[in-house]
Amino acid sequence: MFNSTRIDKFNQLETPFYFYDMNILEQTLNSIQSESSKYGYHIHYAVKANANPKIMQKIQSYGFGADCVSGNEISRSVECGFPASKIVYAGVGKSDKEIKTALETDIFCFNCESIPEMELINELAKQEGKVAKIAIRINPNVNANTHHYITTGIEENKFGINRWEFDSVIENLKTFKNIKLIGLHFHIGSQITDLSVFKGLCLRINEIQEWFKERQIFVDLINVGGGFGVDYENPDENPIPDFTTFFAIFDEFLNLKANQELHFELGRSVVAQCGSVMSRVLYVKNGVNTKFAILDAGMTELLRPALYQAYHKIENVSANGETDKYDVVGPICESSDCFGKSVKLPKTKRNDLIALRTTGAYGEAMASQYNLRNIANAVFSDEIDPA
């Protein structure tokens, strides 16, 4: 990832910045395309992971669709070349304005999460003289065994429709003349590395499909969302997630009906490993029991560690040899602005370059201007690597 040529280029740039290795992104996209096409699966990129236009344009060039969770993400997707016919729109709190944007764009499908939402989409679609296609987002009550902030598929979460609501949903749908049910949507969480969880999801979907079949309700598609995790601890050893095994699980355990499509909404697994936050050491400060490596990047550039104690591998790419332990922290006036404690690094000094790895997902996308900081620039490998 960080050869001497790149480091020389980095030393000429203002930090912090987001660095994207486009070779890794292309390898990832090639793997997704190759493995999913074996089964005829449909892939939508979850824009919330990274909405950088150049990243999105590269993903779109592989023929994938977009999974959006806001009206602005829909607009950005269209601007980046994603066809409206491949855009799905999810989210538990879609506003009137956002729904109108989606209707005017003629997106492929709304993933609906409540009866009141369906009622509103029906009303707004009627005003537009359109019939909106929807999928019901169902809460399958499957525990993704991940951090409680990023699990979404159990009954205590705010997302989706629970099984005890099915009868009411079906009765209401009969009265909505301007929406058409075409699918069932599921998403159980994020950063799932235990692949047996997806087997459990398949088995639960099979049960739910039977409930609908018994009532003579058949849908065109099943959407199993995303959530496939990446290896944060070993980004160089495992830069590409095991999409072969991932897609094979759905082929083996999910019982699709005749001519029924299977859709995925992959985000983190597409872009996480191609990105790093590049930062510079401002100061090395001696504490009572530790040393602090104070960076010019903070929670404004990478929120995940402060938000839910997420781990990112930290590397000093300017040094090697004898090591010491450091609490690696940012400059923001918050005690939670910390990337890692007791991190073993080569002896570190002012102006050393530090890489925060696996930040292609939810790094730039979550950036803020807290403390009136500037949004960091993005740098791409194909712009700095020798031709």
Average pLDDT over residues 273-289: 95
Alpha carbon distance 210, 180 (integer Å): 20
Residue 151 confidence (pLDDT) above 50? no
* Predicted TM-score of the model (pTM): 0.94
Q: Could you report the per-residue pLDDT of 58-69, keeping only the tens digit for each?
A: 999 999 999 999
Is the domain 4-17+273-384 a CATH 3.40.50.620 member? no
Look at residues 135, 149, 231 and name the one whose alpha carbon lies nearest to residue 183.
135
Q: Can you give the pLDDT at residue 55?
A: 98
Residue 143 confidence (pLDDT) above 90? no
Alpha carbon distance 299, 312 (integer Å): 13
The CATH number that domain 22-271 falls under is 3.20.20.10
Residue 155 confidence (pLDDT) above 50? no
Q: What is the full DSSP assignment across 15-42?
A: SSEEEE-HHHHHHHHHHHHHHHHTTT-E
Q: Could you report the per-residue pLDDT of 291-305, keeping only the tens digit for each?
A: 999 999 999 999 999
Query: Do residues 199 and 253 touch, judged by C-beta distance below 8 A?
Result: yes
Q: Can you give the pLDDT at residue 8?
A: 94
Q: Where are the alpha helices (DSSP H) in 157-221?
A: 166-173, 196-214
Please give the distance of CA 56 from its chain centroid, rounded to a whole number: 12
Question: Domain residue spans in the chain?
Answer: 4-17+273-384, 22-271
Q: Could you report the per-residue pLDDT of 158-197, keeping only the tens digit for each?
A: 568 998 899 999 999 999 999 999 999 999 989 999 999 9
User: Beta 314-316 vs 338-346: how paired, if at all?
Assistant: unpaired
C-alpha neighbours within 13 Å on the C-beta side of residue 149: 7
Q: Can you give the pLDDT at residue 153?
A: 39
Alpha carbon distance 275, 300 (integer Å): 16
Q: Could you report the per-residue pLDDT of 182-193, keeping only the tens digit for each?
A: 999 999 989 999
C-alpha neighbours within 13 Å on the C-beta side of residue 194: 12
Window from 238-242, 284-288, 332-336 with minimum mean pLDDT: 284-288
CA atoms 366, 87, 120, 164: torsion sign: negative
The one-letter amino acid code at 369 reads Q
Residue 150 confidence (pLDDT) above 70? no
**Look-up of token digits 């495992």:** 238
Please give the distance of CA 32 from its chain centroid, rounded to a whole number: 15
* Beta carbons within 10 angstroms of residue 47's beta carbon: 26
Looking at the chain, the whole-number percentage of residues with pLDDT higher than 70 is 95
236's tokens:
């160089």
Dihedral, CA of residue 123, residue 127, residue 128 and residue 133, to nearest 10:
20
Q: Can you give the pLDDT at residue 142?
A: 79
Q: What average pLDDT does the chain have?
A: 94
